[in-house]
């Protein structure tokens, strides 16, 4: 079996996606992958079309690990979000081919089921505490047992996860954010939610890397009485040692990892047990091949997984998340989103959500497909993530 064609498909059924279709010389056998990097989609598409696709023609798609290492090491300047996202697209398509050839769902190739479904969470937000409370209640009514809670911060413009942000448009929208009102507001939010909703529903919060180490330690400590499921992304990803400050001041569980691109970025947080949940994005760390290695390392240090699952990765990656979730012993929780109908039209086969859990497809491979004709109906549209600034005009973390 050989690879005889690699198709890169850029489409925008609501937001931009970079999809990959690897076609083999066996009639009708192909694999689908997702190589979407929000805000830099065309950079990944160019890397695939101009540099990586030509290297794949004529290779045996069954040799996933060898192809992974060949692409990762072959550039010499390895790693980084663009190349690791491109590699993820290739990797997912190869696993899809392997499953289809074996006539088995991918989770079976990863060792089989450890659980029937994957506990998942949804997002709740609002302009004030009452709106957040209503949003959490609506999620609970839909069967969710774990909910992320965000709220708009007084005096700040475009608070992450609160009233929502503009992700489309040619020029990046700008948000204004300040730490002082944020640090006052978030403990009050969770005091309100626990008083009104009790302890039965699991709640957590996403800082989105906006705090200094001592600010994050203060927040984590003040949130201890409300027993968060975890505090997500409290610090920037660059300086791993900063997590020691946070860990030494609080027992609030910590989740981190969506901005990492290799297992080596995760290592100090895992081996020093500085986090409780590793939440890399399978679409940005090289796919299933790298994620299962990260999960295996994490298992040794009692760290659970909480893979990134936003709307800016395609259903193919969401499917890969769930296949891995149900096949590893140290799974924790899975982020999910409800895609608009246009996304399902272009990429049928997303995991099914029932009663607060995601269920993998029983179809061979990952269970997703690409409708190329439908994809052509939704051409690429330039879009950027927002830029966050402090009140004095300086650029801050997103």
Q: Which residues contact 341 (CB under 8 A, 6 or more apart)?
A: none
Please tell me the distance from the alpha carbon of residue 177 to that of residue 164, in angstroms, as a whole number: 14
Active-site pick, 160, 261, 284, 378 = 160
Element housing 350 (H / E):
none
227 phi and psi angles, rounded to 5 deg:
50, 60
Crossing angle of helices 179-197 and 213-223, in 10° steps, is 20
Ranges of H-type helices in the chain: 41-46, 53-56, 64-74, 81-102, 106-109, 129-141, 179-197, 213-223, 242-249, 263-271, 288-300, 315-325, 341-346, 372-376
Q: How far is CA 30 from CA 9, 84, 115, in A?
A: 14, 21, 28
Q: Which residues contact 2 (CB under 8 A, 6 or more apart)?
A: 24, 25, 58, 59, 60, 61
317 with 18: CB under 8 angstroms? no
Please tell me the distance from the alpha carbon of residue 326 to that of residue 342, in angstroms, as a whole number: 27
Please tell me the distance from the alpha carbon of residue 395 to that of residue 73, in angstroms, as a whole number: 34
Q: Cα 247 to chain center, whole Å?
A: 24
Joined together, the tokens standing for residue 316 give: 């193919």
Q: Cα 165 to chain center, whole Å?
A: 18
Q: How far is CA 229 from CA 205, 290, 306, in A?
A: 9, 26, 11
Active-site pick, 123, 192, 208, 308 = 208
DSSP-derived letter for residue 177 is -
160 is a catalytic site residue: yes
Please tell me the distance from the alpha carbon of residue 220 to that of residue 216, in angstroms, as a whole number: 6
Q: Which residues contact 158 (CB under 8 A, 6 or more apart)?
A: 165, 166, 173, 174, 175, 176, 177, 386, 388
Residues labelled catalytic: 160, 208
């Amino acid at each position: 079996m050989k690879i005889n064609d690699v198709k890169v498909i850029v489409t925008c059924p609501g937001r931009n996606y970079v999809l990959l279709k690897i076609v083999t010389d066996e009639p009708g056998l192909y694999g689908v992958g997702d190589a979407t990097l929000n805000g830099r989609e065309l950079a990944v598409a160019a890397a695939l079309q101009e540099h990586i696709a030509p290297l794949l023609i004529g290779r045996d798609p069954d040799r996933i690990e060898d192809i992974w290492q060949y692409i990762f090491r072959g550039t010499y300047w390895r790693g980084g979000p663009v190349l690791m996202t491109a590699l993820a697209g290739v990797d997912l398509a190869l696993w899809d081919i392997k499953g289809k050839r074996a006539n088995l769902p991918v989770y079976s190739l990863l060792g089989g089921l450890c659980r029937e479904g994957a506990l998942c969470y949804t997002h709740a937000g609002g302009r004030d505490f009452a709106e957040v409370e209503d949003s959490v209640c609506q999620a609970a009514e839909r069967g969710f047992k774990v909910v992320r809670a965000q709220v708009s911060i007084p005096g700040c413009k475009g608070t992450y996860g609160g009233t929502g942000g503009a992700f489309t448009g040619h020029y990046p929208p700008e948000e204004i954010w300040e730490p002082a009102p944020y640090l006052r507001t978030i403990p009050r939010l969770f005091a309100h939610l626990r008083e009104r909703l009790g302890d039965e529903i699991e709640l957590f919060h996403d800082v989105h890397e906006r705090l200094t180490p001592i600010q994050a330690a203060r927040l984590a400590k003040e949130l201890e009485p409300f027993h968060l499921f975890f505090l997500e992304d409290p610090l920037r990803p660059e300086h791993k040692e900063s997590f020691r400050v946070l860990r030494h001041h609080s027992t609030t569980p910590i989740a981190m990892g969506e901005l990492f691109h290799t297992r080596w970025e995760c290592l100090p947080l895992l081996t020093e047990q500085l986090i409780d949940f590793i939440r890399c994005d399978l679409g940005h760390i090289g796919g299933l091949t790298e994620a299962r290695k990260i999960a295996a390392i994490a298992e040794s240090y009692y760290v659970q997984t909480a893979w990134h699952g936003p709307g800016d990765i395609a259903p193919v990656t969401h499917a890969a998340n769930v296949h891995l979730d149900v096949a590893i012993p140290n799974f924790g929780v899975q982020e999910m989103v409800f895609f608009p109908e246009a996304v399902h039209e272009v990429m049928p086969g997303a995991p099914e959500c029932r009663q607060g859990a995601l269920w993998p497809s029983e179809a061979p491979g990952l269970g997703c497909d690409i409708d190329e004709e439908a994809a052509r109906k939704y051409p690429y549209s330039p879009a950027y993530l927002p830029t966050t600034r402090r009140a004095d005009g300086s650029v801050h973390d997103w």
